[in-house]
Structure 1
Amino acid sequence: MQNELLWFLMLIAAFAMVMISFRLWGKMGLFIWVPISVILANVQVVKLVNLFGLTATLGNIVYASTFLVTDMLSEHYGKKEAQKAVIFGLVSMIALVVLTQFALWFTPASDDSSQEHLAAIFGLMPRIVLGSVTAYLLSQFHDVWAYHFWKNRFPNQLWLRNNASTMVSQLIDSIVFCLIAFLGEFPFSVVLEIIFTTYIFKWIVAALDTPFLYLSKMLVKQKQIADLRD
């Protein structure tokens, strides 16, 4: 159960860092967390681990924390600020891909020992990049839209708008990425299995981020966020 314990601890650590960033720097702290999480997720995703009897990639937790961030921005700052965060994440993703490819194109020195390791992490296939960017845009913009859709209809049900928006967005992300990246590369049944296992872990993370959204509401109510004090 070591992997499962570490997975849970990493989840708590990621959400705690989101809350600390919000507490210390308000909106700017949330904006800063988005590129951090996108870059970390793209590095961690290359590692496969066994969790609860299933094979999964790391990176799901850190990436899923971006949905908590956009929900917090939507709740406390409005739809336009949440959409800005999505764009920040997209720009950081593109920058990561472009600049790491340049690094790989440099001819390494004769005594270099890092080229093969960097290539293993950043040597991305075009379909992976296309799937990642497309899934990110569709799922994140849906999350912002859906959050406000449910908020307008059930303004007093924070848990509903948080989970209804994030869980559907996570499903969109899993389906779009896996279909673009893996369809034709693996049998369709295998692609479906990857979608299912990936979404299960994202669903769990989405459910567990709800208390942190309530915590953010409490911090705002107690006037502990500098840029939200009356």
Structure 2
Amino acid sequence: MFNNLTKRELYSILTGVFTASLVISNVISSKTFEFYIFIFPCAIIIFPIVYILDDIFAEIYGYEKARRIIFLGFLMNFVAVICFHITIAMPTPPFFSNNSAYATVLGSTTRILLGSVLSYLIGSLVNAKVMVILKAKSENKLFFRCILSTVIGGGLDAIIFISIVFYGVIPFYALLIMIIGQASFKVIYEIVAYPITRLVIKFIKALPDE
């Protein structure tokens, strides 16, 4: 499957991983968990992968192709949400007693949907744009580009999503802790995963274009 890959073929594979990771993250985003003094949306389990792939797309394929994938991810997430709501609204047979639980998990509220869409679009586009701008100025500083783009893009994502979804629901101090915690987690995740990111980028650059 992965023999004799080209950059174009790998682009298609990574697009599938990117969109699947995004849809999964938005399905699990409404549940939170506590870690010491921090409260995190469960989406952080997988969502940092979206930002790492965003870095790879911008670094290898350029901003325009990265932007296409970002909008494709938005479209597929929107399709998933529509399918979830249609499924919830379908008549339920008497023997299926878990419809309310199904609706609780997959029936995103307007706030969650709005928060996830805006934070994803703005955070991902800014992340990709920062990667491209920094690459033009510092070609050899990949670590710096990956981390700074995540600080800015991931920070915006955390501020927008958590503010929209949780403002007025939890105390303001808890809101700030959640924003700081989520943004910090993404940056730490990026730093820990950087050796893998670097190897993947190096591997893709060595592939033939066609």
Scaled by the length of structure 2, the TM-score of the pair is 0.88
Which sections of structure 2, spanning at least 5 residues, go unmatched?
Answer: none
Query: Measured at CA, do residues 52 and 206 of structure 1 come closer, stay the same or move farther in structure 2, by a change above 3 Å?
Result: farther
Of 123, 137, 152, the match for 1:153: 137
Give the drift of 1:120.
Answer: 1.9
How far apart, CA to CA, are the structure 2 residues paired with 1:179 and 1:57?
12
| Residue aligning to 2:88 | 104
User: 106-115 vs 181-190, which deviates more?
Assistant: 181-190
Scaled by the length of structure 1, the TM-score of the pair is 0.81
Contact in 2 for aligned 1:45/1:57 (Cα 8 Å): yes
Task: Please tell me the root mean square deviation across aligned C-alpha atoms, in Å.
Answer: 2.3
Contact in 2 for aligned 1:61/1:205 (Cα 8 Å): no
1:61-210 equivalent positions in 2, closer than 5 A = 61-210=45-194
1:212 equivalent to 2:193? Answer: no
1:36 equivalent to 2:17? Answer: no
Contact in 2 for aligned 1:34/1:88 (Cα 8 Å): no
Query: Measured at CA, do residues 44 and 118 of structure 1 come closer, stay the same or move farther in structure 2, by a change above 3 Å?
Result: same
| Residue aligning to 1:11 | none
**1:21-56: CA deviation from partner (whole Å, max 9, x where unpaired):** 999941111111121001111223244334456432
**1:50-84: CA deviation from partner (whole Å, max 9, x where unpaired):** 44564323221311111111211111111111111
Query: Measured at CA, do residues 126 and 181 of structure 1 come closer, stay the same or move farther in structure 2, by a change above 3 Å?
Result: same
**Which structure would you say has the larger RCO, counting Cα contacts within 8 Å and 6 or more residues apart?**
2
Which sections of structure 1, spanning at least 5 residues, go unmatched?
Answer: 1-20
Contact in 2 for aligned 1:79/1:148 (Cα 8 Å): yes
Contact in 2 for aligned 1:61/1:202 (Cα 8 Å): no
Report the identity percentage: 22
How far apart, CA to CA, are the structure 2 residues paired with 1:218 and 1:29?
17
Aligned length: 206
Query: Measured at CA, do residues 127 and 46 of structure 1 come closer, stay the same or move farther in structure 2, by a change above 3 Å?
Result: closer
SS at match of 1:129: helix
**1:82-139: CA deviation from partner (whole Å, max 9, x where unpaired):** 1111011100111121110111111211000331221121122111111110001110
Contact in 1 for aligned 2:14/2:53 (Cα 8 Å): yes
| Residue aligning to 1:10 | none
